[in-house]
Amino acid sequence: MVLVFLLLAAASAVMNLSGSAVIDAAANEQQISALFVAESGVERMQGTIWQAARTNGYTDATCTGLTSLAAANLGQGTFQYRGAFQFLSATSTPSTCGGSILNPNCTGCTVTVKGTIGSYSRTIRALLSLTNNQGIEGNASQFTLNLNTSANNAAAFTNLAYRAKAGGGSSAMIGSCTNTGGSCLITSTSVSGWNLNNTGTNNVSGMGVYASVPTAGTYSITDTLVDNSNNPAARNYVQTGALFYPLSGGSVGFVGSFGRDSGSNKTIGTSTTTGSLPTTWNCAAPTNATGYGGTASASNAAGANTLVYGFSSWPASAANQLNHMTLGIQPLSQILRMTGTQGDNLYSQIWYSYNPAYYPTGATGATNGANFTGTIGATFSGTITGAGATKTLTITSGVTAPAILTIGDTITNNGGTTVYGTLGSLISGTLGATGSTYNIVTASTVATATTLWAKSNVLRLATAPSSGVLTLGDSITNSGGATTYGTLGTLRSGTWGAAGSTYNLTGAPQLVASSSLESVGTTITLSGTISGANSTPSTGTALAVSSGTGTFDSSTFTGSISGTTLTVTSCSNGSPANGDALFGVNVRPNTRITGPLATGSACNGTYPVSTSQTAASDTILARAAVVSVTSANSYSVSRKPTTRLASSALLCGGVCPFFFDNTGSNTNFTLTNITSGDDWASGFACLSGVDPAQIVILGNLTAKKTSWSEPIQ
């Protein structure tokens, strides 16, 4: 019996052990399966990001958006990127990245995913690192830059730098350029760019290409280098590019370009760091087979809203890369740059600047004030008699029209050196007439008839304006604007702008005999019947005088932007003003000052700005810009022109103001950090209809899983 009992106990133990082993084996299998399910979640993350990157759509939301997905079924289990556990998450690096040049490139996505099988789960945390090469480079005779656009009627712009020679032999040149998405537009019959071949002693060549993309999709731009015999010619090359999306419902178009050396027009050179454009060139549309015969006009440049600058160089040192580009007084912002790895420092850069298009078609002129004849105050003969503080002023020789006398005028001696008091109420007679008497509070007496002055804050128009429009808030000056008498206030009597009408003036009382006067203000009034596209400016449009008399000033200062606060630390020219459009190497497009000085002083204080951003301290240009629009014929601007706009002046926006400085004309450009002997080639192009917030860098994106861990649960 004992033996039987022992055998039964042993059998029971064996059966229990066997069952436990089976259970352990099943649990282990489920845990391993849960790990594989979690790994599948990581693979899904990689696929999601890669697909978004291929279509130029990878942003921080691509990564963080994974946490909004419901648990995904896979076989007998599920995986998810969110749940009750705090560690389930997806984080992009940087936290705000991708989408356009307004944001930094996304460099990584860290995801935590939980895989579940039955009652068992495993969690994985993985980092996907991304490298965005801003272009392509290498040594070849044919190379392709890929692009993908989600919008119709977009456009790509590429800048190619390549070595014309490789040791001895003939120079390489562009044999062909093809665009699978549309036209490449740099052929023998149609040029929308430039082709600068075999430039300079070191033989760097440059080509800028505008490529239209009529339909959304995935395309490529392929360039082929050939020798003089039309055989493939492999050379070191670096090619960069950017994709420009259109404004809503519109299309990106090509307006004009310039990039060929002609005489002293140093658009290209071997040792020049400054140069000039032809005085007649400002984005003229090409009209001949080579693309360089167009007739320049301000309307062409005003119709473009984006200026693109492509730069190709082979510097003596890798440290001598172009780091600032200024056209006249206008700084451009860098979109991208890339240096080749072939050992010769060859590199390509693309720069740009943006300003809303504006050209008032049908306008015959613009003014910001008026010319007229007027008087302020009066002269007369009189006496001051009586005792006590209040005395009597008697006019012995009355005021001569068109001058007038007004209660409240300041009465002084002839010359204004002695102030007797303020003209009080009329006691008898008619205001300003001989024999009339007035109260005056003064300690002085004038016993005999003496020439007196009545300095006033009242302007009287002797004649209606001969040109321009008188506007509330105008500064009243002498003819030519050398002396300012005050700011035009409300109408006192008569009809606005009519002869004989009177107006309040702010400022110190003045005496101005009947003479030619003018008003200068921030209200722009256009004459003519204005119609057509871009004929009415938008808020923030920077302006220039394209023809006629009158110039807008500007301000150059050192400043930085954090969020929507501009901090100015010093001014080198003038000071910023409320409503100014801001331009700088680090400043986002379409940024303007939206309010008066908030703290500190004009050149050491803060201002609010329109676009939230982070801009490191650098030189910033503040230009006169549109503050508000009443109609196509009337709008206000941020600063008064230094010279009043004559009735024949014409204004422009878009790219046009970039070719005008504070003197009314400037076609010079300056390259910073380029030294004598560095070989370079460059060119400009003007595009229309560009959305400044949607400019995407073309390049090659590589993604690699660089870390993997299993957090403790």
Tell me the two tokens of residue 381: 């003969």
Sheet hosting strand 173-179, strand order edge to edge: 142-149, 217-226, 173-179
Percentage of residues in the chain having pLDDT higher than 90: 45
Which of 319, 136, 165, 92 has its CA nearest to residue 240?
A: 136
For residue 675, what pLDDT is reported?
76
For residue 263, what pLDDT is reported?
36
**In this predicted model, what pLDDT tens digit does every residue of 175-220 receive, in sequence order?**
777 888 776 654 433 445 677 776 555 578 888 888 888 898 888 8
For residue 305, what pLDDT is reported?
95
Tell me the two tokens of residue 234: 């492999």
Tell me the two tokens of residue 296: 């320049």
Distances (CA, A) of 303 to 223, 334, 563, 645: 30, 22, 31, 22
> Which of 55-64, 65-74, 244-253, 371-380 tops mean pLDDT?
371-380
Distance of alpha carbon 455 from alpha carbon 477, whole angstroms: 16
Those residues whose C-beta lies under 8 Å from the C-beta of residue 707, and which sit 6 or more positions away, are: 125, 126, 127
For residue 485, what pLDDT is reported?
96
Confidence of residue 384 (pLDDT cuts 50, 70, 90): very high
3-class DSSP state of 671? strand
pLDDT, greater one: 395 or 87: 395
Tell me the two tokens of residue 375: 């008087």
For residue 446, what pLDDT is reported?
95
Among 17-31, 452-466, 630-644, the minimum mean pLDDT is found in 17-31
Confidence of residue 287 (pLDDT cuts 50, 70, 90): very low
**In this predicted model, what pLDDT tens digit does every residue of 242-285 receive, in sequence order?**
999 999 989 998 887 776 543 333 344 444 555 555 555 556 55
Instruction: Assess whether pLDDT exceeds 90 at residue 420.
Output: yes
For residue 172, what pLDDT is reported?
80
For residue 189, what pLDDT is reported?
37
For residue 56, what pLDDT is reported?
66
For residue 168, what pLDDT is reported?
67
User: Which residues on neighbouring strands pair with residue 225, listed in sequence order?
Assistant: 174
Q: What is the dihedral of CA 173, 178, 183, 187, to 10 degrees?
A: 30
For residue 480, what pLDDT is reported?
82
Instruction: Assess whether pLDDT exceeds 80 at residue 647.
Output: no
pLDDT, greater one: 69 or 357: 357
Confidence of residue 470 (pLDDT cuts 50, 70, 90): very high
**In this predicted model, what pLDDT tens digit does every residue of 307-331 receive, in sequence order?**
999 998 888 788 888 889 888 899 9
3-class DSSP state of 395? strand
- Average pLDDT of the chain, as a whole number: 85
276-282-283 Cα angle (round to 5) = 125
Confidence of residue 294 (pLDDT cuts 50, 70, 90): very low
3-class DSSP state of 57? coil
Distance of alpha carbon 542 from alpha carbon 582, whole angstroms: 9
For residue 10, what pLDDT is reported?
65
Among 118-127, 611-620, 621-630, the minimum mean pLDDT is found in 118-127
Confidence of residue 149 (pLDDT cuts 50, 70, 90): confident
- Is residue 214 a contact partner of residue 224, using CB atoms and an 8 Å limit? no
pLDDT, greater one: 147 or 692: 692
For residue 281, what pLDDT is reported?
53
327-330-336 Cα angle (round to 5) = 75
Average pLDDT over residues 346-360: 94
For residue 119, what pLDDT is reported?
83
For the chain, the helix, strand and coil percentages under 3-state DSSP, each to the nearest 5: 10, 50, 40
